[in-house]
């Protein structure tokens, strides 16, 4: 049975279908799949319009090293579902910066895709939004071959090198060069093959996150189990939800409650969040009507499968006539992944980090036919290059003057733990 645009059928086994969509996305040259978990208190999912939204292939696309031409492409493709993506490297053209690290992963710096095939699952129904679709393709899908053994994941920098880098950042903070820096390190594995679709399917089932997604562009693949929203546009309103302040989950309900209270009362963790909240308010203030920026929730406590998080929601009413290019010029990259002030923090990051971030701490998402969009922050993500046969697992956190280097190092390991567990489990 072939379905065409506007057709919809009931999905009997959504879990199997989700898995099949991811497996088939991995076999495409270009694809993007956005996943919604079952709604639970505290989650802020992609959209109530879908539990899965996917685009396969390329009918039309815009891509480049800057934002030039993005608005033209949006106008040309209006009335369609489109899939934008922006790497951290886009900062160079926005803020006139240069990175010293070479890009190994190979994603374009920025782009937007109008796929040949677009479909979604909404309220238990599969609906075709563009192109023709055979549902049996996904129910019969089989994974690509697995490697014979679990890839060995190694830190690119030693614990001692990380601790030294944090102390160097704190010197910058003491000198007034910045007051918060989001510093990241990379964990890497060599792997001739790596089952990215199976990995994300397992990770999402075990640790569902509200802004998860899969993105493949030729040889480069991103599997993101992100809990963080960068920017959402609905009508003339923008929403940003910076996530700063993290603590591990407890082993019992009583321990969880104790950790949550400690996190919510921690001056250091709240300061991390409030500093970035101020930066986001400033960014949005550049494109908002006078008095249009509001903090909807400050340092709200949200519980995720592996961590406690403090999340702030900031909104703004935009000035008339603004389009996506102008919005991103004012807000990208997201302050939660740079620190503050942005430019000086990014310069410190580039000097002290040991890898090219690329799509890590960038963004993927969707734009609907009305021109509204939703973009995540590509954290809690794995990156694989099929041609060069390597896997990157970057993690990091905010460094402030109150940070203890050893505690920051342990926070990185907590964030990496879920990914490592799932990688081991899929090879059983």
Select which of 24, 228, 269, 353 is catalytic: 228
Q: For position 148, what pLDDT does the model report?
A: 75
pLDDT at site 38: 67
C-alpha pair distances (Å), 340 with each of 97, 124, 184, 324, 327: 16, 43, 15, 23, 19
- Quote the CA–CA distance of 351 and 54 in Å, as a whole number: 37
* Residue bearing the bigger pLDDT, 248 or 196: 196
Residue 296 has a pLDDT of 94
Please tell me the predicted confidence (pLDDT) of residue 428. 67
Confidence check: pLDDT of 41 > 70: no
**Band (422; pLDDT cuts 50, 70, 90):** very high
Ordered by start, the domain boundaries in the chain are 8-425
Kindly state the tokens that stand for 209: 């996150």
Determine whether 142 is an active site residue: no
State how far the Cα of 211 lies from the Cα of 222, in Å rounded to an integer: 13
- Fold classification of 8-425 is Anthranilate synthase (3.60.120)
Instruction: Using pLDDT thresholds of 50, 70 and 90, give the confidence band for residue 241.
Output: very high
Q: What does the pLDDT read at residue 359?
A: 97
Q: How far is Cα 21 from Cα 34, in angstroms, rounded to an integer? A: 11
First-last CA distance in the chain: 35
Task: Taking residues 42-59, report their average pLDDT.
Answer: 86
Six-digit token pair at 75? Answer: 């106008």
Task: Please write the tens of the pLDDT for every residue from 184-214.
Answer: 999 999 998 899 999 999 999 998 888 999 9
The stretch 319-343 carries a mean pLDDT of 96
Let me know the angle formed at the C-alpha of 21 by 16 and 22, rounded to the nearest 5 degrees.
100
For 160, the enclosing helix (H) or strand (E) is: helix 159-174
Structure-token pair, residue 418? 């879920």
Tell me the HSE value of 115 on the side-chain side, using a 13 A CA sphere: 31
Q: Is 117:132 a contact under the CB 8 Å cutoff?
A: yes
Could you say which of 233, 244, 342, 415 is catalytic? 244
Per-residue pLDDT band for 1 (boundaries 50, 70, 90) equals confident
Cβ atoms 407, 392 nearer than 8 A: no
Q: Classify 263 as helix, strand or coil.
A: helix
- Reply yes or no on whether 417 is catalytic: no
So what's the pLDDT on residue 40?
A: 54
Question: Is the backbone of residue 37 left (phi > 0), alpha (psi -120 to 50) or beta?
Answer: beta
DSSP string, 31-98: EEEEE-PPP-TT---S-TT-SEEEEES-SEEEEESSSTTHHHHHHHTTTS-BEEEE-GGGHHHHHT--
How many C-beta atoms lie closer than 10 Å to residue 424's C-beta? 12
- Least confident span in 101-105, 353-357, 384-388: 101-105
Q: What does the mean pLDDT of the chain come to?
A: 93
What b/e string do you get for 155-170 counting C-beta neighbours within 10 Å, with b at 16 or more? Answer: bebeeeebbebbeebb
Of the pLDDT bands very low, low, confident and very high (cuts 50, 70, 90), residue 251 is: confident
Task: State yes or no: pLDDT of 412 exceeds 80.
Answer: yes
pLDDT at 331: 97
The average pLDDT across 2-10 equals: 95
Summarize the confidence of residues 102-129 as an average pLDDT.
95
Burial (CB count <10 Å: 0-12, 13-18, 19+), residue 254: exposed
- What local confidence, expressed as pLDDT, does residue 315 receive? 96
pLDDT tens digit sequence for 358-407 = 999 999 999 999 999 999 999 999 999 999 999 999 999 999 999 999 99
The mean per-residue pLDDT over the stretch 282-303 comes to 94
> What single DSSP character describes residue 337?
G
Return d(Cα 74, Cα 268) in angstroms, integer: 42
Share of the chain above pLDDT 90, in %: 78
Q: SS3 of 379, please?
A: coil
Sign of the dihedral defined by the CA atoms of residues 347, 352, 358, 361, in that order: negative
pTM of the model: 0.94
């Amino acid at each position: 049975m072939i379905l065409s645009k506007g057709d919809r059928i009931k999905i009997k086994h959504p879990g199997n279908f989700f898995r099949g969509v991811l497996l088939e996305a991995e076999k495409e040259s270009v694809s993007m799949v956005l996943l919604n978990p079952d709604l639970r208190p505290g989650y802020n999912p992609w959209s109530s319009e879908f539990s899965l939204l996917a685009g396969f292939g390329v009918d039309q696309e815009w891509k480049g090293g800057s934002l030039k031409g993005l608005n033209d492409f949006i106008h040309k493709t209006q009335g369609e579902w489109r899939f934008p993506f922006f790497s951290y490297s886009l900062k160079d053209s926005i803020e006139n910066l240069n990175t010293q690290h070479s890009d190994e992963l190979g994603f374009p710096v920025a782009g937007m895709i109008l796929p040949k095939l677009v479909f979604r699952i909404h309220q238990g129904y599969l609906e075709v939004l563009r192109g023709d679709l055979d549902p049996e393709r996904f129910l019969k899908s089989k994974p690509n071959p697995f490697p014979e053994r679990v890839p060995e994941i190694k830190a690119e920098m030693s614990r001692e090198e990380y601790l030294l880098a944090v102390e160097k950042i704190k010197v910058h903070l003491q000198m007034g060069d910045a007051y918060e820096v989001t510093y990241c390190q990379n964990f890497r594995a060599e792997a001739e093959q790596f089952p990215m679709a199976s990995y994300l399917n397992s990770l999402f089932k075990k640790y569902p996150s509200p802004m998860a997604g899969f993105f493949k562009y030729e040889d480069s693949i991103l599997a993101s189990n992100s809990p963080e929203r960068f920017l959402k546009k609905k009508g003339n309103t923008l929403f940003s939800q910076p996530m700063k302040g993290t603590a591990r989950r407890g082993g019992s309900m009583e321990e969880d409650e104790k950790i949550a209270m400690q996190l919510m009362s921690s001056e250091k963790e709240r300061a991390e969040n409030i500093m970035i909240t101020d930066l986001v308010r400033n960014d949005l203030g550049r494109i908002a009507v006078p008095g249009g920026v509001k903090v909807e929730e400050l340092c709200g406590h949200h519980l995720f499968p592996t961590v406690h998080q403090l999340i702030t929601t900031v909104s703004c009413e935009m000035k008339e006539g603004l389009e996506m290019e102008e919005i991103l010029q004012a807000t990208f990259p997201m302050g939660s992944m740079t620190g503050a002030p942005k430019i000086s923090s990014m310069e410190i990051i580039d000097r002290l980090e040991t890898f090219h971030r690329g799509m890590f701490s960038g963004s993927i998402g969707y734009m609907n036919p009305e021109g509204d969009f939703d973009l995540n922050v590509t954290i809690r993500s794995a990156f694989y290059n099929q041609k060069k046969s390597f896997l990157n697992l970057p993690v990091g956190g905010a460094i402030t003057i109150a940070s203890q280097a050893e505690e920051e190092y342990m926070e990185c390991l907590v964030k990496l733990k879920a990914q490592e567990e799932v990688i081991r489990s899929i090879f059983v």
